[in-house]
Structure 1
């Protein structure tokens, strides 16, 4: 039976060292907001490989009739500058591997991989052409790193690489919430594998507040959110004390 699903990518629970919510709390929160699936992405840092089966089992038990949690891992590079979101693996690889090695292992195991938040630590500057055959997309908009509008650096990477665009809430706690989702259709009973296939086949439609962020030419078009992000950053600079460092420097001259 064909089903249309509302899917969130990139979320962290207490299984991540910096997570704040349990898996059950995440399922309840997103389920109450019309999200059918949350693709979890726990950090590899400090993750116990022997606990991977327990993590998968808890994702299943915490899922509800409204919201299913799909287990995934966010792997980081040795210097922690590049992060890769992965799903579809039945085992944990290892933490802080070289990026290309991680991508090759994910591909050979039948999983999918997304290049996360390119703007964080200027990861876009370390993007290599050798990554492209092993990637299934680039996170064009990360709520935590980009704010309320997608980053131009990620847009440029997508244009150059030809990879598909995804959006990520990068949820750790409530202030990271933003209505960034994906819409896709599935037909099989194995939801995890159906969604892995949808990512691989570029069948995830990135959405903001229920509307596609892609125009008729499949280009990323979010003029309103970009205006809002410029306004947000402008107001942040106007906050009392925001320019104190600059003022101190000016006083020394």
Structure 2
């Protein structure tokens, strides 16, 4: 496994990043990361489906070929980038094996631009996202891991758009394929103000630039969810929350 960082440049804002692909254990136990295509330009994700978000990865130790989440990077400008992966040829011989989907709980999260664990917390165990409901569940698990108490789903989702509530907490999860809007961030903040709660926003497709700027002004933590179910902080308020906990 090559754990070296790969230099990437965001095509939206031209910021440079060093991306380290997350490594998950193969069924044989060997740490395995998708083979990033060096020199290739990442592409912004403007449309997301559940069927095109897996890549084929082959373990060099056992030859097993499996499906893994497509590597993604959340840029600080709010764009979510698809990181190109080298094609993998089918394994041959006795080492060939069937496909296997990664399961939540197999591995701790890793990789560049990932949240930093607070010293007192165990590693976050993500939930692989396949549906919109999975996205809400993954965000709820993460908020509980951060230290928020009694985090519950709103059933059915109310007109306010508040998907999760906890002690002194309101959170919204946007599972759509479009970046979260300025209105969504402002409405969440206003709802938190009226209930004297903290607000947190999660999105699968990132944030519109004006939404990101307003969140910075209001101190609303913004997270991008990748399909492994591991939230990535995209602003200072989110990074502070990850560092300090609830």
Report the TM-score, using the length of structure 1 for normalisation: 0.31
Indicate the structure with greater helix content. Answer: 1
